[in-house]
Structure 1
Amino acid sequence: MVWSPVAARGDVRKWRLHACGCARTHFPPRAAKKWLAFLDLAERYADGEITAEEFTQAQAPFHRGRRPRLTGVSGDFDLALRDSENLATTWRDLVIAANRSYEPGDHQYDLVLPRFRVLTDLIGPGPLPEFDPSWRTSTAVALAQGMYDSRDFGAMPILADALQDAGCGDAVIVRHCQDTGQLHVRGCWVVDLVLGRPQGPPVKKKRSRRRRTT
Structure 2
Amino acid sequence: MTEAQWLTCKRPEELFESSHCTDSRKRRLFACACARKVLHYLKDLRFQEALRASESLADGKLSEEQLKEFQKAAAKAGAHFVGMDAEPEKCAALSVVRACDQSIDPLCRTASQAQLAKGGIYTSKMAAEALRQAVLLRDIFGNPFRPAIFSPEWRTETAVPLAQQMYDARDFGAMPILADALQDAGCDSADVLDHCRGAGPHVRGCWVVDLVLGKA
Bin for the TM-score computed over the shorter chain: 0.7 to 0.9
The residue that corresponds to 2:120 in the other structure is: none
The TM-score, its normalising length taken from structure 1, stands at 0.74
Q: 1:110 Cα shift?
A: 1.7
CA distance in 1, matches of 2:91, 2:69: 29
Of 38, 55, 60, the residue aligned with 1:43 is: 55
For residue 116 of structure 1, give the secondary structure of its aligned residue in structure 2: helix
Question: Can you list the C-alpha shifts for 1:177-200, whole angstroms capped at 9, x where unaligned?
Answer: 112x211111111000001113xx
Question: Can you list the C-alpha shifts for 1:138-179, whole angstroms capped at 9, x where unaligned?
Answer: 211100111111101111111001000000011111111112
For residue 40 of structure 2, give the secondary structure of its aligned residue in structure 1: coil
Runs of 4+ in 1 over 6 A off after TM superposition: 71-74
**Whose RCO is larger (CA < 8 A, sep 6+)?**
1
Q: 1:61 Cα shift?
A: 2.0
Q: 1:77 Cα shift?
A: 1.5
CA RMSD of aligned residues (A): 2.7
Give, as a single letter, the amino acid of the residue that structure 2 aligns with 1:31. K
Of 19, 29, 33, the residue aligned with 2:31 is: 19
Ranges in structure 1 where 5+ consecutive residues have no aligned partner: 93-105, 199-214
Give, as a single letter, the amino acid of the residue that structure 2 aligns with 1:9. H
The residue that corresponds to 1:9 in the other structure is: 20
Q: Does 1:188 pair with 2:206?
A: yes
The residue that corresponds to 2:195 in the other structure is: 176
Q: Does 1:62 pair with 2:85?
A: no
More helix by share: 2
Q: Following superposition of structure 1 onto structure 2, how do residues 1-214 of structure 1 map, counting pairs within 5 Å? A: 1-2=8-9, 3=12, 4=14, 7-10=18-21, 11-28=23-40, 31-66=43-78, 69=88, 75-81=94-100, 83-87=101-105, 91=108, 107=124, 109-126=127-144, 127-179=146-198, 181-198=199-216
Ranges in structure 2 where 5+ consecutive residues have no aligned partner: 1-7, 82-87, 110-122
Question: Can you list the C-alpha shifts for 1:115-144, whole angstroms capped at 9, x where unaligned?
Answer: 211111111112321101110112111001
CA distance in 2, matches of 1:72, 1:65: 13
Question: Can you list the C-alpha shifts for 1:69-97, whole angstroms capped at 9, x where unaligned?
Answer: 3698665323213x1144368x49xxxxx
Q: 1:29 Cα shift?
A: 5.5
Higher Rg: 1
